[in-house]
Chain A
Amino acid sequence: MSVDTQAPATAAEQFALRRQSPVQRIQHLLHSHPALSPLLVLLVAVIVFTIINPRFIQPATISIILQQTAVIGALAIGQTLVILTAGIDLAVGATSILAMLLMANLAANNGVPGVLALLIGIAFGTACGFLNGLLVTRLRLPPFIVTLGTLSIFTAIGLLYSKGASVGRNKMPDVLNLMGTRFAIGPFNLTLGVIFVVVLAAVIAFVLSQTAWGRHVYAVGDDIEAARLAGIRVNRVLLSVYTVAGLIYGITAWVQIGRAGTASPNAIVDANLETITAVVIGGTSLFGGRGGIAGTILGALIVYAFNIGLSLAGVNDQLRVLTIGVLIIVAVSIDQWIRKVKA
C-alpha cells in the first residue's frame, strides 16, 4: 500500500506516473515483442551447437533443418491462429492426413486430374476446420473436446478411406509432387515447399498484424467478453479462424506429399503435439491473445535445430526429447511471468 501525499493526480498525471524497474522493462519488451525470446534461444543454440560441432553451421545441415521444419512449421501456423483465440487444435495432423489421403487417392486411383484432386483435398481440409469451428461456436463445446473428438473421427475416416495404404510418388501426378522440387539457393539445398511455407507464414503474419480481422483474433483470445461488448462478432471470428486453420492444414498436405514423396496415413500423426510445442516455444500464450507467427516459425526451427544440434553433439535420443520438454516448460513459465507482472 502506498500513501500518496501529493494533490490528487489527474488521469493524465496517472498515465505519466509509470514506474518501471529493469525487470519490468524486460517484461514489457517481451510482451510487445513476443518473438524476442525464441529468437534469442535460437541464436544461442546455433552458437553453442556450432562450437560443439562445426558441422552444424554448414549449409547442408541448415538445409536439412529448413526442410524438416517446413511441414510442422506450416501446420503450426494454423495452430497459432487457433491458440491465439485461446483454443487448441488436436486434430491438426488428422485433418492434414485426411486432406492428403483424399488428394492422393483421388488422383492415383480415381483418375481425377491432379489440380482438381489437389483442390478437392484442400477444400476438404478447410471443411474439416469449418466443422471444428461450428462445433466450438454453435454447440459451445471447449475446443479441446471438439478437436479431441474430430482427431479420432478424421483419423478413422482417413484409415477407412485409404484402407491404411500409402500412395507412392510415382502413382501421383506431377502437381501433387510439386512441393518436393529441389533447387539450390547459393550453397543451400531447398525445396519448393520450404519457400511456399515461408510465403504462407509471411501472408498470415501480415494479416494478423495489419488487418482488422487479425486484431479481432487477438481481441477474442485476450478477453472474449470485452471483444463481444466492443461489437466484434465473436463467433464469426472463431469460425473463420478454425476454417482458415483447416485451409492451412489442407495446403500443408501438399507440402507433406512433396517432402515425404508419399501420401501415408502414418505420417505426421504426432503433429498436434509437435505444433503445440512449436507454438508454445515460440512465445504464443496457450491462454490466447498473445504471440504470433514469427515466434511460431522460430519455435519450430528451435525444435529441429535442437534435434539435429544435439544429435551432432552425440547426445542420446532420449536426452533430446528431455531437452525439448524442458524448453516447453521454460517457455510457458516465461509466458506466465509476462502475464503476472504488471506496471
Chain B
Amino acid sequence: MTTTPSDFTAHQLSEEEQHTVGLGAPPVLADPANTVLSARGLLKTFGKVIGIDGVDIDLFPGEVLSVIGDNGAGKSTLIKALTGALIPDAGHVYLDGQEVHFKGPQDSRQAGIETVYQTLAVAPALDIAANMYLGRERRRSGPLGTIFRMLDKKGMKEDAGKSMANLGIATVQNMSQAVETLSGGQRQAVAVARAATFATKFVVLDEPTAALGVKETGQVLNLIRQIKEKGMPVILISHNMPNVFEVSDRIHIARLGGCAGVITPKSHTPTEAVAIMTGATTLKKG
C-alpha cells in the first residue's frame, strides 16, 4: 500500500495558499470509514487543566502523520487518548471505521496498534529476541509447550532476526545479545522493530529520536521510511522540525489543547510550522 493522493485532496492547498502562511485550509474531516484511525472531539481534562480540548485527527492508510506542538500543547495527551493509555472524557475514536473504546494500552495493542516510547522501553538485561517478544512470548508446539509451558526460544530468535533484517538491520547476528550492550540508537531500533513487527494497524512513535545523536536519529528515520514502504501507517510525535519535514506526509499541529491545523511538508516550511505551532500566525478557520 502506498499513499494515495486522493486521500489528501481535502487537505491540499492551492498554489497560492501553499506559499502563504495564514491562508492554509482548515483540516477537512474525512469519513472514518476511509481512515485507519479517526478521532472526533476528543476531550481530556485533568482537574481544571485541559489536556486536549475537542481534538479531531485522521490517519490515512500508508501515511506518516506527524504530531508537533510546543510543550503542553497536548501531543502526548492526544496520543495517550488514542492508544488507551488515557481514557478520554468525551469524544469518539474509530479504528478502520469501527468505534473503539480502549480501556488500557493492552487493548490498543491487541487491536494492532504498537507504540514506541521515548523512554526506550526495553528491558536492558534481556537479550534482543527476548525484548522483541516481551509480553507475547511464543511457546513450543506439542506437550513441551502445552504442559511444560516451554518457550520457543529458537523460533523466537530466528524470527526476531528476520524482523530486524526486514527492516534493513541485516547484519544483526546475535539475537542473544543483551540490549544494555547496545547503543541508544540500536536499542531504539529494537523497540521500533518490535513495534513494526507486531503492529497490524499502525505504529506510534513518541519522540523516538529525543534521546539520540544525529547519526542514530538518521537510523531511526530510515526505519520509519522502511515501515511506511511496507504500507504500515505511522504516527510520529516529535519536536524536531527537520526530522518531521523529512519523513512526514502530513503534519498535525497541536496547540493549546487543540489543533492549529494540518499542513504538509510541501504546503509549508518548517519556519511556518513553528510559527503556527507557537501562535505567531494562524491557519484561517473557514
Contact = CB atoms under 8 A, between A and B. Distances in A.
Interface string A125-142: 000000000000000000
B106 A231 contact: yes
B274 interface: no
Contact of A212 (B117, B151, B216): B151
A31 B178 contact: yes
A218 B219 contact: no
Interface in A182-238: 206, 210-213, 215-216, 218-219, 222-223, 225-227, 229-232
Of A9, A13, A222, A232, the most chain B CB neighbours within 10 A belong to: A222
Contact of A225 (B121, B131, B135, B218): B121
Given A211-B149, A225-B119, A15 B181 contact: no
B263 interface: no
B185 interface: yes
Nearest to A290: B125
Which 3 pairs show the lowest CB-CB distances between chains A and B?
A231-B135, A212-B137, A230-B135
Given A14-B186, A15-B172, A215 B119 contact: no
A4 interface: yes
Nearest to A24: B181
A163 interface: no
B105 to A, nearest CB: 7
Interface stretch (B15-23, B163-171, B250-258): B163-171
Given A28-B181, A227-B123, A10 B219 contact: yes
B53 to A, nearest CB: 27
A210 B131 CA distance: 15
Nearest to A229: B121
Interface in B122-149: 122-126, 130-131, 134-137, 139, 148-149
Contacts of A4: 215
Contacts of A226: 119-123, 134
B55 interface: no
A212 B135 CA distance: 8
Given A215-B130, A223-B124, A229-B121, A11 B168 contact: yes
A76 B186 CA distance: 36
Given A10-B219, A210-B150, 4 more contacts: A31-B178, A211-B150, A225-B119, A226-B122
A301 B119 CA distance: 40
Given A14-B183, A215-B134, A289 B123 contact: yes
Interface in B179-220: 180-183, 185-186, 189, 215-216, 218-219
Contact of B134 (A13, A28, A31, A230): A230
Given A8-B218, A215-B151, A222 B121 contact: no
A222 B123 contact: yes
Interface of A: 4, 8-16, 18, 28, 31-32, 206, 210-213, 215-216, 218-219, 222-223, 225-227, 229-232, 289-290, 342-343
Contact of A215 (B137, B148, B181): B137
Nearest to A339: B180
B125 A222 contact: yes
27 contacts: A8-B218, A10-B219, A10-B222, A11-B186, A11-B219, A11-B223, A12-B169, A12-B170, A12-B172, A14-B183, A15-B172, A16-B173, A210-B153, A211-B150, A212-B149, A215-B130, A218-B123, A219-B126, A222-B123, A222-B125, A223-B123, A223-B124, A226-B122, A227-B135, A229-B121, A230-B123, A289-B123
Contacts of A290: 125
A285 B109 CA distance: 32
A210 B120 CA distance: 26
Contacts of B185: 11, 14
A189 to B, nearest CB: 33
A222 B124 contact: yes
A4 B169 CA distance: 20
Contacts of B218: 8
B145 to A, nearest CB: 10
B107 to A, nearest CB: 10
B215 A230 contact: no
Nearest to B104: A231
A8 B221 CA distance: 13
Contacts of B109: 231
Given A210-B151, A226-B123, A342-B180, A14 B219 contact: yes
Contact of B126 (A10, A206, A212, A218): A218
Contacts of A28: 178, 181
Nearest to A289: B125
A18 B181 contact: yes
A232 B134 contact: yes
A271 B94 CA distance: 56
Nearest to B137: A212
Given A10-B168, A219-B134, A229 B215 contact: no
A9 B123 contact: no
A229 B223 contact: no
B117 A229 contact: yes
Contact of B186 (A8, A15, A222): A15
A229 B105 contact: yes
A231 B136 contact: yes
Contacts of A218: 123, 125-126
B119 to A, nearest CB: 7
Contacts of A222: 123-126
B278 to A, nearest CB: 31
B189 A11 contact: yes
Contacts of B168: 10-12
Nearest to A219: B123
